[in-house]
Structure 1
Amino acid sequence: MKTRTHDYDVTLTWTGNHGAGTSAYNTYGREHEVSTAGTPTILGSADPAFRGDPTRWNPEQLQVAALSQCHMLWYLNLAAEAGVVVTAYEDNAHGVMAQDSRGAGQFESVTLRPRVTIAADSDPDVAERLHSKVPEVCFIARSVNFPVHHEPTIVVVPRGTPAGP
């Protein structure tokens, strides 16, 4: 099988120089912008625990979001292939990061909690089982070195209910 590669270019621009640069830990801001051609800029910062701006995305939130997005996109693909008609999907994902005494940290785990609504004619057991197949193919989940747990909830739309918004 031929291997294909995909390239992803992102520009990160630090915007937190408040006049003194990094002359001391508390003199500079953690604000930055993440951009790429053709998409809206993401306003980023550090986690508020590390002097970051709580109104901006931090890298840890983006890591959890990337896992949640990848899981959803692969799940929808697998559902379509399996004949499961998904009419709504929402995930309340949660990540846990631990810091050691030096201040270094790493994720211990991420738990995805997708609430998936399926059409009345779809099999809820198949819909639930598909979540366990996603980690085999999700690019982001296959790239992390910590466990990603899944706690799905499957809701079946009663017959006669409109399928979408």
Structure 2
Amino acid sequence: MSKTHRYEVTVTWTGNTGTGTSSYRDYSRAHDLTAEGKQPIAGSADPTFRGDPARWNPEELLLAALSQCHMLSFLHVCVMAKVVVTGYSDTPHGSMTTTADGGGSFDEVVLRPRVTLADPGQADQLAELHERAHKLCFIANSVNFPVRHEPEPVA
């Protein structure tokens, strides 16, 4: 049975330096992301697009959302398979191509999860568990580019 879930955030531009968007260089890309009951996230554009490198940009947030969703789905399928995970980290990377008109899109994202198991003898199940998690991930199912997995072994 399907169920619709709704989400709401507020994005507020805070980058008016006095003259609004009077020219490309006259405004900051700074903005705040907020949601009820949560701490704000300081956002900006990528530094390539005149953004503040100390703030999160949309491209990083997209990578983070894909990584988080996969991890949460993976932990779920591990519980169901009775595989005990004791550590998990990921260092995803993505590639984006811009177009001459200023637009662009992501070409792919590669997740590189590092998983530590309570029983290292279950490591042979990891590839299949990552595949199952990928099929369940809401965010990966919502993008129009490949999301690949390159699990890294944990020593």
Q: Shared topology, TM-score over 0.5? A: yes
> Given that residues 85 and 122 in structure 1 are in contact (C-alpha distance below 8 angstroms), is that contact kept between their aligned partners in structure 2?
no
SS state at 1:4 partner: coil
Report the TM-score when normalising by structure 2: 0.96
Aligned counterpart, 2:89: 90
1:85-164 equivalences under 5 Å are: 85-120=84-119, 123-155=122-154
User: Within 2, Cα distance between the matches of 1:102 and 1:33?
Assistant: 27
Distance 1:22 1:102, change over 3 A: same
Taking only the aligned residue pairs, the percentage that are identical comes to 55
Letter in 1 for 2:140: A
Measured after TM superposition, the shift of residue 127 of structure 1 is 2.1
Once the 2 structures are TM-superposed, how far is the Cα of residue 128 of structure 1 from its aligned partner?
A: 2.6
Separation (CA, whole Å) in 1 of partners of 2:133 and 2:103: 30
- Rounded Cα–Cα distance in structure 2 between residues aligned with 1:43 and 1:93: 21
Distance 2:72 2:83 in 1: 14
Structure 2, unaligned runs of 5 or more: none
The root-mean-square deviation of aligned C-alpha atoms, in Å, is 1.2
Measure the CA separation in 1 of the matches of 2:19 and 2:154.
54
- Structure 1 gap ranges (5+): 157-165
Larger Rg: 1
User: Is the CA contact (8 Å cut-off) linking 1:124 and 1:154 kept in structure 2?
Assistant: no
Matched, 1:61 2:60: yes
Q: Provide TM-score, normalisation by structure 1.
A: 0.90
Which stretch has the larger CA shift, 147-156 or 77-86? 147-156
Distance 1:102 1:121 in 2: 50
Counterpart of 1:76?
A: 75
* 1:35-50 correspondence to structure 2 within 5 Å: 35-50=34-49
Q: Distance in 1 between matches of 2:47 and 2:34?
A: 22
